[in-house]
Amino acid sequence: MSAPLRLGTRGSALARAQSTHVADALRARTGRPVELVEIATTGDRTDRPVSELGVGVWVSALREALLAKEIDFAVHSYKDLPSAPADGLVVAAVPPRQDPRDALVARDGLPLSALPPGARIGTGAVRRIAQLHALGHQLDVRPIRGNVDTRLRKVADGELDGVVLARAGLARLGRAGEITESLDPMLMLPAPAQGALAVECRDGAVTDDDAALSELLRGLDDLDTRLCVAAERALLATLEAGCSMPIAALAVLAEDEDGSLELYLRGAVISPDGAQAIRLSRSATLPATDPEPAAADIGRDLAADLREAGADDLLAPPRGGAGADDVAGRAR
């Protein structure tokens, strides 16, 4: 029997659920045994706010383990990956995406529109905080950290009236039934690549074994998800921003009558206090041959549109030195 493939994963329940899903799919497809190897990341070892941690805090240790050949491949939440490629590594597969929407879990089963002014809503993302403020509901929005269980417990214990987090994570943990409301992207546009996973390995340029594994993992790839993520992340990279900035994007694909694929991309840049937002969209038909570069071009073009409309001004730090957490922590 072949030696087990070593899959690197963070230790949280959600990370292990995501990695187990990929491991099961790979076993079913190839018959190869897979074992999970837990890797602690910088983000797991600190309680500092997400916006202070910088890009890559959830993935750097996994990438170091890959390059050191301590593991054979890793599974990431795609939205956590830095937008720049990593030398020596490749995203070999992007499995089918879960529902990318954000979700509200609130006391008494209340939807967002029924929460009273002053309701205490917790979330960990500056993007979500900004968009909650932008709704004008006079919510008391509070930055929080912790795993899914910790966040949901804050609602159950009465510390918060609700929390907003990715619907995909709740679904992967089997807790979608606790969702009060799946938030319409017209109100709460998701983070680029939200709901998608990235299966990363060494790029195969050095050894035949790495090349063979990359090819094996490629069987888990879902083209539609890869194309949508390519557009969303190209927008993010062109704006030179990471997951700690209030930037949102969501791409969808539709098949035309002639069988060609049309990609429609929405993007938004929001000021941290929610007072200003730029929301634009672009669409284009993708070529049948090598469509991924064309999808990325749509993202870059939309980012240019956002910049022309003033996105850089919204992304600049506020005058006087206030950081994103200072602004986001205040209710409007």
Catalytically active residues are: 80
C-alpha pair distances (Å), 141 with each of 1, 46, 136, 244:
53, 22, 12, 16
Q: Is 6 helix (H, G, I), strand (E, B) or coil?
A: strand
The 10 Å CB-count burial string (b at 16+, else e) for 201-237 is: bbbbeeeeebeebbebbeebebebbbbbbbbbbbbbb
List all residues 6 or more positions away from 117 whose beta carbon is below 8 Å from its beta carbon: 137, 138, 139
Strand partners, 106: 162
Distance CA 76, CA 167 (A): 16
AA identity, residue 188? M
Structure tokens at 261: 């694929």
Distance CA 62, CA 75 (A): 9
Q: For 200-290, where are the alpha helices, taking DSSP H only? A: 208-218, 223-238
